[in-house]
Amino acid sequence: MASLRAFGCYLPSRVVENAELGAMVGADPAWILQASGIEQRRFAAPEETVASMGARAAAECLANAGIEAKEVGLVLVASGSGERRFPGPASAIGSALGIPGTPAIDLPLASAGSLFGLALAAQLASAYVNVLVVASEIMSRTVSLDAAGRDTAILFGDGAGACLVTEGAGFAHVVDSLLCSDGEFAAALSLPYDGPLHMDGRTIILQASRKIPRAILQLLERNACAPADVAAFLMHQANLNLITRVAQAVQVPPEKFYRNLNRYGNTSSASLLIAAAEWWRGQNGAMPGPVVFATFGAGLHWGALLALPWSAWSDG
């Protein structure tokens, strides 16, 4: 039975406050905070790559899990901001970990990729035993850091996260997941080869505020779990207003939704795993109850995943 064994994350050292970014894009720092809930974000150093950051998050995850890289049977890497069309960062991350012969698969799903990776890993763990899910993004290189790109540039930051999904005991049992895709609004959020990131913010937040709560509620209903019984909701850190809307829609206090958006901004696919890693660290590696993971991103792709404390599942 698949379980979550450990998380890890990596954040670049450069901190970009709203005052610095505001000067780049011609925006008032107070407006940036009011519009997004973001106070600062991290920017990758010039020599850092999506793969190098992902490898650092993966290494921390494996150290937290207490296993060596050679014990990993499969690597799944989510990223929408790779430096080239192909190959993606997955094989480079495997090589950096010292496991060049281990299969490594790219999931080029911006924002939602980490959740899709977790759900796939839970299904594949029976065959590969230890599946390492990594999400790494350098979003600061996908936007225009000037007045023309103001509305998108204020939202994004860089970072990487990782999770080890294993067949057998962990701190949480993966109970179920719900994955969805719909290309009707694909043009609303895209990163063309010859230009900066394009986002129709109004369409995206409207679709996300409808689709995420439906996915969460449908997943909980089919597993006979009430929203009030969920200990924590770990969600893609896209926008503070969106997180608040989702909390209201599922009728739980906003405090149940873990938030680190104010410190890191939107790190696309990496945001869910970075948030999970920080939340898990705060629990001293334990889980106080059911946890729901949820994401929404380009494609459109979205979904939710339910995990229970391993002790509660094994005792039952």
**Domain locations in the chain as residue ranges:** 2-167, 172-315
**pLDDT of amino acid 310:** 82
Token duo for residue 115: 């959740």
**pLDDT of amino acid 113:** 98
- The rounded distance, in Å, linking the Cα atoms of 195 and 172 is 41
190 closest CA partner among 152, 228, 238, 235: 152
- Give the CATH superfamily of 172-315: Thiolase/Chalcone synthase (3.40.47.10)
Integer angstrom CA distances of residue 170 from 94, 125, 167, 178, 277 = 23, 12, 9, 21, 15
Q: What is the CATH number of domain 2-167?
A: 3.40.47.10
- 135 DSSP β-pair partners: 78, 161
Each residue of 145-158: pLDDT tens digit?
999 999 999 999 99
171 closest CA partner among 270, 312, 306: 312
**pLDDT of amino acid 284:** 85
Burial class (CB in 10 A: 0-12, 13-18, 19+), 259: middle
- The rounded distance, in Å, linking the Cα atoms of 13 and 159 is 10
Token duo for residue 114: 């980490």
SS3 231: coil
**pLDDT of amino acid 105:** 98
**pLDDT of amino acid 173:** 95
Pairing between β-strand 291-297 and β-strand 158-167 as defined by DSSP bridges: unpaired
Q: How confident is the prediction for the chain on average, in pLDDT?
A: 96
Confirm whether 2-167 and 172-315 share one CATH topology: yes
The pTM of the full predicted model, rounded to 2 decimals, is: 0.97
**CA torsion angle 110 1 168 132 (round to 10):** -10
**pLDDT of amino acid 194:** 86
Alpha-carbon dihedral sign for residues 72, 77, 82, 88? positive
Helix-then-strand count for the chain, H and E: 11, 13
**pLDDT of amino acid 69:** 98
**pLDDT of amino acid 42:** 98
Which residue shows structure tokens 């369409």?
A: 203
Pairing between β-strand 301-309 and β-strand 172-181 as defined by DSSP bridges: antiparallel
Pairing between β-strand 130-138 and β-strand 232-235 as defined by DSSP bridges: unpaired
Q: Which residues contact 249 (CB under 8 A, 6 or more apart)?
A: 209, 212, 213
Low-confidence ranges of the chain (pLDDT < 50): 316
Each residue of 281-298: pLDDT tens digit?
999 877 889 999 999 999
- The rounded distance, in Å, linking the Cα atoms of 184 and 270 is 25
Pairing between β-strand 14-17 and β-strand 172-181 as defined by DSSP bridges: unpaired
